[in-house]
Chains A and B, each alone.
Chain A
Amino acid sequence: MITVETSRPAAARHYAGLSLRTWRIAGIAALLAAACVLPFSLSSYHLFQATQVLVYAIVLLGLNMLTGFNGQISLGHGAFYAIGAYTAAILLDKTGMPYWATIPFAGLVCLVAGFLFGRPALRLEGHYLALATFALAVSTPQILKYKHLESWTGGVQGIIISKPDAPAGLPLDSDQWLYFFCLIWTAPLFVVGWNLLRGRTGRAMVAIRDHPMAAATMGIDTALYKSLTFGVSAMYTGIAGALGALVAQFVSPDSFGFFLSISFLVGIVIGGIASISGAVFGAIFIEFVPNIADQISKAAPWAIYGIFLIAFMYLMPMGVAGVVRFAAARFARLASARRPG
């Protein structure tokens, strides 16, 4: 059911005179170039949406590591997103730390939180883990309202954050700068994620997912890998949460309801389980489809959303990334067939 983009002997294949590797690098370079041009061609509202897509993409990559690659289902990533957002907001609000310095802290806090949560959760498999993380998600908004934490969290009122301005000397407005600031975080996190998942670590994670006993026999420390995956996944989500707080300029318990966690899960399934590029497609889905649904019907926006969901699952059972991969393979076959000899 779940497939992985296995690393093929890429260098051996050539299409239209270029190796697959070159094609891939060219594609990524084009994508990055497009991402850099975007802020100058979009209105500030659309740019704001694009920034949110970047933020969601980080979350989905993090969740995909855990659920897609490592096979641990989490219904509670909204909680880590909230922890990241609140860490950044509290640091900004209480200590006056510069906004850019809060992001690594949010990541660190979530890394520790995720590792600590992942440790006892090791005993839980499959559905039981899903329930444990579910508990995390439903309790988060209420913990944030807890009266003894109120002096920090601001209780139900939440915390208002000022929008960061572009550093002096850069000819950007604050929306454009925020987009680039998120891009500066997104791109390296994807590179790191790529290296992590494509290497030894990634293979160990997949092995644990596919056959934990065999993986342990091969000498993989399953307990350590599983809790580390949990930690790293939470770290990605926390960083995204902190960036998301800067984008929304506001955190409150109601911002991090259970539905957020479900949205993330929807995102990775729609984008493509165990696919790195799928994180971006999933992010686009969770950002835009609710808006489209709302435009179609005010009376039942979630019914429309549901129809979209079913249609996607029916037409693209491997997620959007699966379809893209399939189309690319088709194209490649055509291209190599046309080659003489």
Chain B
Amino acid sequence: MYARRAWLAAAALAALALPAAAADTPGVTVSEIKIGQTMPYSGPASAYGTIGKAETAYFNMINEQGGINGRKLNLISLDDGYSPPKTVEQIRRLVEQEDVAFIFQSLGTPSNTAIQKYLNAKKVPQLFVATGASKWGDPEHFHWTMGWQPDYRTEARIYAKYILKEKPNAKVAILYQNDDFGKDYLIGLKEGLGDKAAKMIVQEASYEVTDPTVDSQVVGLQSAGADTLVTAATPKFAAQTIRKVFDIGWKPLHFMTNVSISVASVMTPAGPEKGVGIITASYGKDPTDPRWKDDAGMKQWRDFMAKYYPDGDQADASNVYGYGVAMTMVQVLKQCGNDLSRENVMKQAANLKNLDVPTLLPGIKINTSPTDYYPIQQMQLQKWDGKTWVLFGDVISGEGS
């Protein structure tokens, strides 16, 4: 009798609690979690669209395995053509019309800038934005926004750390693209070199994306007497730089941004032999690297690709990237348990401890805290040997002050 009454009371309580819970957890039902996203499926950045498809495929896999706590993940991924006003429109549709629980992995720096204020005002989590800019880890001003990959400044600080250790008397030159991407490297490099920056950096040169070549900048940097070069250039200009540095017989210790290390679009056009010795930093496993042929994590990824995203290109690092971020997202949702309120989703995203994602380089872990909104801040250096990138040294942390 007593037991039965308790059961009834519990049921009544549950009945009371359910609608209340539903009211302050938009996008969440007993059987589903609705997630929103914008991706450039069309337009100038459409090559990245495959990230959204890989993530959708990953969530499909999770759903097939029974979802998270019995809830299926429903990712609504909309095209914004990489145009910020369109992103605003699509995000409003997702938040106001589709009633999604949160926004996951919207791609592009300008697009995310356009929606950041809106999402923070509405208190909708803007999780793991797909951009490398440094401004996404600012919990003090933007509690609801978080990045994922190492940002450009972190990367530049890692190069600075290496320079200070291996070549403390270096004369450093930097070539950067004149926009927020390039300037982040300049800032990060100066931060990393600290009070020695003014003395060590002998020359800064920038170029515009509209410039036909960077030849004159490269020549100028060489004649300034630099023996170390940090290049923060997008692929086309990176290839030009590598070629020009080689052609004028300059042999600096050359650091290349992680953005421009693709074998197909940078190293091969530049001439693979011309780039020997170039150093870059990396955090993820390269799907074309034979080293990971029998790696358990990459095998897991290949099986996933074969089964859930068979149209996807297995040589495209974007698909590895999407897999890793989606896995991080699933971990956050698992940590949330049954409290899928926006507040708790954000709290758990800022509470990732030593998360191991099998597509990241060994030793690199994901860590966040309420004051640290940069999930990945470790990288490992690698050197171009004329055929492939070879990892060396230890995992370096680029955490800023």
Residue numbers of A with Cβ under 8 A of B are 43-46, 48-49, 52, 142, 145, 147, 155-158, 160, 244, 248-250, 252-255, 257, 259-260, 290, 294, 298-299, 301-302
Whole-angstrom distance from the CB of B372 to the nearest CB of chain A?
24
Whole-angstrom distance from the CB of A280 to the nearest CB of chain B?
19
Interface size on B, residues (CB 8 A): 34
Known interface pairs A248-B114, A301-B41. Does A255 touch B97 (Cβ–Cβ under 8 Å)? Answer: no
What are the residues of chain B within 8 A of A158 when measuring CB–CB?
84, 110, 113-114
Chain A residue at smallest Cβ distance from B78: A294
Q: B180 and A155: CB pair below 8 A?
A: yes
Chain A residue at smallest Cβ distance from B49: A298
Whole-angstrom distance from the CB of B313 to the nearest CB of chain A?
14
What are the residues of chain B within 8 A of A254 when measuring CB–CB?
82-84, 110
Whole-angstrom distance from the CB of B5 to the nearest CB of chain A?
44
Chain B residue at smallest Cβ distance from A298: B41
Chain B residue at smallest Cβ distance from A150: B178
B223 adjacent to chain A (CB < 8 Å) = no
What are the residues of chain B within 8 A of A43 when measuring CB–CB?
96-97
Q: Which label, helix, strand, loop or mixed, suits the secondary structure of the A interface?
A: helix
Q: A156 and B41: CB pair below 8 A?
A: no
What are the residues of chain B within 8 A of A259 when measuring CB–CB?
43, 81, 83
Interface string of B75-93 (1 = CB under 8 A from A): 0011101111110110011
Task: Please report the C-alpha to C-alpha distance between residue A49 and residue B110 in the assembled complex, in whole angstroms.
Answer: 21
Further contacts, 16 of them, CB under 8 A, given A145-B179, A158-B113:
A43-B96, A49-B89, A145-B209, A155-B179, A158-B110, A249-B117, A250-B85, A253-B110, A259-B43, A260-B83, A290-B81, A294-B78, A298-B49, A298-B53, A298-B77, A298-B79
Known interface pairs A44-B96, A157-B113. Does A249 touch B88 (Cβ–Cβ under 8 Å)? Answer: yes
Chain A residue at smallest Cβ distance from B44: A257
Known interface pairs A158-B84, A158-B110. Does A301 touch B93 (Cβ–Cβ under 8 Å)? Answer: no
B262 adjacent to chain A (CB < 8 Å) = no
What are the residues of chain A within 8 A of B88 when measuring CB–CB?
248-250
Q: A156 and B42: CB pair below 8 A?
A: no
Q: B85 and A244: CB pair below 8 A?
A: yes
Q: A142 and B210: CB pair below 8 A?
A: yes
Q: B113 and A160: CB pair below 8 A?
A: yes
B7 adjacent to chain A (CB < 8 Å) = no
What are the residues of chain A within 8 A of B86 when measuring CB–CB?
290
Task: Please report the C-alpha to C-alpha distance between residue A187 and residue B355 in the assembled complex, in whole angstroms.
Answer: 57
Chain A residue at smallest Cβ distance from B77: A298
